[in-house]
Amino acid sequence: MALIENQVAMVTGAGRGIGRAIAVELARLGARVALAARSRSELEETAGRIGRAASVMPTDVRKNDEVQRLVEQVSAALGPVDILVNAAGIGIFGPVVQFRDQDFENLIDTNFRGIFYACRLVLPSMIERKSGHIINIASIAGKVGSANRAVYCASKFAVVGFTESIAEEVRQYGIRASVICPGSTDTRFSGESGSGKARERMLRPEDVAHAVGAIVTQESNSFISEIVMRPTQKP
């Protein structure tokens, strides 16, 4: 198992849910973690679970200038990013004919545009150093479409296709890009979606974090390109 002690990890969406669990797991494995999300109070709660290895950096990933500032702050405070985890995401659902332009923009900007910005900004340093991990959190919705989730599914399909493509672009430099597609996960997001599923049967955020840990501790001669996760029992 490769060690990630003292590596610099930048996690978006780290204020709660899956992003928080991933940040905590990476810190447990020895990384120094930069926590990014819009809510400072939620980030500080995450940092409180981690301790001194965490840095709080409020960021709106929908805005290129804020993501650029984030990467600059991380580099100045901790060093160049070794591990990028894009976990920020939102869900807005409804029939296409009723879907509002503003909801479309917020969904695409958060779920996909922010990933594009972050990857584009961290890759030059990774290419120069010939090492790095990029892990994008998509969803089962990025593999299979469903009614009343067309735009949400499209955003997650985009994440899967984008990750597969950049993996081919950068593997020659020793950089590994991976995508994780979780099924129903017990987070605030699952409650907001109004799914009505049995929460006790859902995946836990820690399950996804465990998958991230498996990816970043792979030896350098291999990488896990995609993980699709489902609950053992249907919620």
Q: Which residues are catalytic?
A: 152
Q: What is the dihedral of CA 94, 99, 101, 103, to 10 degrees?
A: -10
Tell me if 224 sits within 8 A of 136, measured CB to CB.
no
On whether the CB atoms of residues 136 and 159 are closer than 8 A, the answer is yes
Decide: 43 and 15 in contact? Cβ < 8 Å. yes
Report the candidate in 142, 147, 144 with the shortest Cα–Cα distance to residue 180: 142
Residues 38, 58 contacting (CB under 8 angstroms): yes
Tell me the C-alpha distance between 31 and 25, whole Å.
9
Amino acid at 234: K
Could you give the 3-state DSSP secondary structure of residue 136?
strand
Tell me the CA end-to-end span of the chain in Å, nearest whole number: 33
DSSP state letter for 28 = H
| CB 159, CB 115: distance < 8 Å | yes
